[in-house]
Structure 1
Amino acid sequence: MRKIIALLLCLWMLPAALAEKLPYPADTVISVLPLTQAQRTLVDTLYGPILRSDSRIELPQGTLYEDVSAAMNALMQDYPELFHLGRSYSIGYYQNTPEYATHVTPTYRMDAAAAAALRSELMAQAYLAADSADDPEPILDVLCRSVIYGGDEEMRHTAVGPLLQGAATCEGYAQAVTLLLRLKGIPCGVIVGSATDSAGQTDRHAWNIARMNGYTLLDLTWNDQNGLGLNTRWYYGLSSAQMGRDHYPDANQVIPVCGEQDNWHAQRGLIITTEADLYAALRTFSRDGEVNLRFADHALYTRAAHDTNALLDDFNRHSPEEAFYGAYSIMHSDAQMCLILQRAE
């Protein structure tokens, strides 16, 4: 039953008035926030005034206070073009009926004229990037090559950071991915929660859900290796189980079960399940100088990632005509059981 509810929540139809204002097709909006019908209607009510940077927005009579909070949170999380919307807001109410809201006063990161000008610049760059390739993968590759992680400036938490400034936090990456995929006609949304890195440190994080051949998960922040211009693809097209190894969504979100149908490694036959698969991959490495693998077998992964010299010695004895000798570099993710092996220059 949970799967059915999740699907319904993520596919709710946007009101026509809101759909007409969006810079991308309305059916590309995925929201993992479980909004009621009243809250979805409020999103429609608030979107236009916030887009205009209205300082005070009057609410329909009978609007519940809690519904305003839910709608404002959705506008912050689900609409990357509202980058100018600040994280705080105040809700007005009558003292004798505090459960009902009368108006909402948003905060903005800049004035209306500056927001409109920056939005025009952002959308021009986003359209240019989205039109640069038919497939989303090379578009995200370019984003990885051109963006570095970091910075405390507020815009780096928005799509403006990666697309116009070349720097972003995880939230900025996720907002940019959402905007680019929606412009390609691919349904996409943002998930927020926490994640545990390779050092065992758990911090707040944001990543994406998209609908390609089915629902799938992406984390461009963790694909992007700072300074290397490299997209590892370790977090491209993950299933719920795969992403769940080190990513933990906040409990207030309802997320469809995602499969492996869009997994980058699976689509290219790069999932290692047997020793024969591993030796075949090493032959590719010996010939081409690079291989990017995901492992289904933990023992094989451990051998490849943590006892690489011994593995290569065994491979050389097993396949002397295709033996590899020389220096190499290795990057790996224990949580995802992925590795990249490269011949050193």
Structure 2
Amino acid sequence: MEPYYYSKLTKQQQTVCHAMLQGITELADSFLVPKTEGKELADLFFRLRLDHPEIFWASGFHYKYYQDSPNLIFEPEYMFEKSKIKEQQKAMAARLEKLARPAMKLSEWEKEKYIHDFICENVRYDKLKKSYSHEIIGPLGQGVGVCEGIAKAVKALCDRLGIWCIIAICGNNPQKGIKYRHTWNIVKIGGTYYHLDATFDNTLGKHGLLEGGIRYDYFNLDDRAVFRDHEPLIAPAPSCTDGEHFYYKEKKLSFTKMEEVYKRASQAAKKGKPLTFHWRGGYLTREVLEELVETMKQAGAQREKTARIALNWPQAVIRLTYVDGNTKSSVTVDEANEGELEQENEGKEGTYWNDAI
């Protein structure tokens, strides 16, 4: 099967990408590619690396040309010395093999969850944004990464396990305070496309306020849900139209009635375990949220416990824990955004963001 972004190119553009892939794979100092305008060449190089996250050592390029020549002289920039690249190639191949081996016989959905959970349990967001954190060697080799490196690591593992996967990318939006592009993945599970953002789930799961393990707020979302807090894509990608296999729906943790919330919250208070659930009983307005908070408070009060609530408002996902004693409940708004988890309204009961999703 042709790589996804490659398949969307013209024959001429494909020829350029093929030449770049061959030259970079051979660790050539320079090689010829068909003459292409500089901006387009940069875009093709970018798309090539989305299709081939295993090319982690090629960080950029220069080029030069002669006026009458039909070709450019392409000079790739490598992140390491060539001898070091070969060592890293062997190490990454062995690492991918080791990670993939336990999941080879799992179902597609189980493989997807295995990859997602590996990222959430073993990778921390690199706020310093080192160069290798943008490539698979960051998450897979150093245990750190930014969204680009994490999305590439997810694709590399999906490729190894036979799951169709691409890297999706959206633009920045300075008006919203979004300074950087964001990348995540689109996977095909059971013949259907879904959004999978392991970076956002990773950042939510690392939130220090509440314990509770891995988050799945961005596991198999449709377009309608993901673009509540993701900017529009800047590169073509398949539409994701199925919202019925969102993780919390699959796990019967998507509630439509207050009675369901009360019942499951009571169980969480009794067992002393956190509860993470999705609300789909209509829009999550301030009034609905206040009713949900009151319901969870009452469930805890029956056992003399106090609710600690963390809210992912765009995705209508709530994480609930209880602490012993009748103290003041707290509601914290979680924002999954490039590792910068903002804590607003902490400890201010009844104070919330926005009016609706």
> Contact (CA 8 Å) 1:215, 1:256: kept in 2 or not?
yes
Q: Please give the alpha-carbon distance, in whole angstroms, between the structure 2 residues aligned to 1:277 and 1:186.
A: 35
Give ranges in structure 2 of 5+ residues lacking alignment: 325-357
Matches within 5 A, 1:247-262: 247-251=230-234, 253-258=235-240, 259-262=242-245
Residue-pair matches, total: 305
Equivalent residue, structure 1, for 2:194: 216
Q: Please give the alpha-carbon distance, in whole angstroms, between the structure 2 residues aligned to 1:268 and 1:182.
A: 26
- Secondary structure, counterpart of 2:54 in structure 1: helix
Equivalent residue, structure 2, for 1:77: 50
Pick one of 118, 126, 150 that aligns with 1:142.
118
Q: Please give the alpha-carbon distance, in whole angstroms, between the structure 1 residues aligned to 2:194 and 2:293.
A: 35
> Contact (CA 8 Å) 1:32, 1:189: kept in 2 or not?
no
| Change in 2 beyond 3 A, CA 1:93/1:255 | same
Say whether residues 1:111 and 2:95 are aligned partners.
no
Equivalent residue, structure 2, for 1:286: 269
Equivalent residue, structure 2, for 1:9: none
Q: Which amino acid aligns with 1:268?
A: K
Say whether residues 1:166 and 2:143 are aligned partners.
yes
> Contact (CA 8 Å) 1:32, 1:255: kept in 2 or not?
no
> Contact (CA 8 Å) 2:195, 2:219: kept in 1 or not?
yes
Pick one of 247, 250, 271 that aligns with 2:254.
271
| Change in 2 beyond 3 A, CA 1:257/1:277 | farther
Report deviation, 1:328.
Answer: 3.8
Say whether residues 1:175 and 2:152 are aligned partners.
yes
Identity %: 21
Further displaced range: 301-310 or 134-143: 301-310
Further displaced range: 325-334 or 234-243: 325-334
Equivalent residue, structure 1, for 2:296: 312
- For residues 84-136 of structure 1, the C-alpha deviation after alignment (integer angstroms, 9 at most, x for no partner) is 111x3223333257xx5432111111122211111211121122112233322
Pick one of 37, 43, 56 that aligns with 2:17.
43
| Change in 2 beyond 3 A, CA 1:302/1:120 | farther
Report deviation, 1:249.
Answer: 3.6
Say whether residues 1:240 and 2:210 are aligned partners.
no
Further displaced range: 51-60 or 298-307: 298-307
Q: Which amino acid aligns with 1:327?
A: T
Say whether residues 1:185 and 2:155 are aligned partners.
no
Q: Please give the alpha-carbon distance, in whole angstroms, between the structure 1 residues aligned to 2:284 and 2:259.
A: 11
| Change in 2 beyond 3 A, CA 1:64/1:316 | closer
> Contact (CA 8 Å) 1:272, 1:293: kept in 2 or not?
yes
| Change in 2 beyond 3 A, CA 1:279/1:57 | same
Q: Please give the alpha-carbon distance, in whole angstroms, between the structure 1 residues aligned to 2:25 and 2:254.
A: 45
Pick one of 182, 206, 231 that aligns with 2:214.
231
- For residues 303-327 of structure 1, the C-alpha deviation after alignment (integer angstroms, 9 at most, x for no partner) is 675566522355579xxxxx44313
- For residues 20-58 of structure 1, the C-alpha deviation after alignment (integer angstroms, 9 at most, x for no partner) is xxxxxxxxx443984223322332232122022211111
Q: Please give the alpha-carbon distance, in whole angstroms, between the structure 1 residues aligned to 2:62 and 2:89.
A: 24
Q: Which amino acid aligns with 1:56?
A: S
Q: Which amino acid aligns with 1:173?
A: I
> Contact (CA 8 Å) 1:284, 1:290: kept in 2 or not?
no
- Secondary structure, counterpart of 1:83 in structure 2: coil
Report deviation, 1:302.
Answer: 4.6
Report deviation, 1:264.
Answer: 0.6
Equivalent residue, structure 2, for 1:91: 63
Report deviation, 1:227.
Answer: 6.3
| Change in 2 beyond 3 A, CA 1:336/1:122 | same
Equivalent residue, structure 1, for 2:317: 338
Q: Which amino acid aligns with 2:15?
A: T
| Change in 2 beyond 3 A, CA 1:254/1:300 | closer
- Secondary structure, counterpart of 2:5 in structure 1: coil
* Higher relative contact order, structure no. (Cα contacts within 8 Å, ≥ 6 residues apart): 1
Give ranges in structure 1 of 5+ residues lacking alignment: 1-12, 15-28, 318-322
RMSD: 2.8
Q: Please give the alpha-carbon distance, in whole angstroms, between the structure 2 residues aligned to 1:263 and 1:291.
A: 17
- For residues 115-174 of structure 1, the C-alpha deviation after alignment (integer angstroms, 9 at most, x for no partner) is 111121112112211223332213321321111111332101111111111111111111
Report deviation, 1:282.
Answer: 2.3
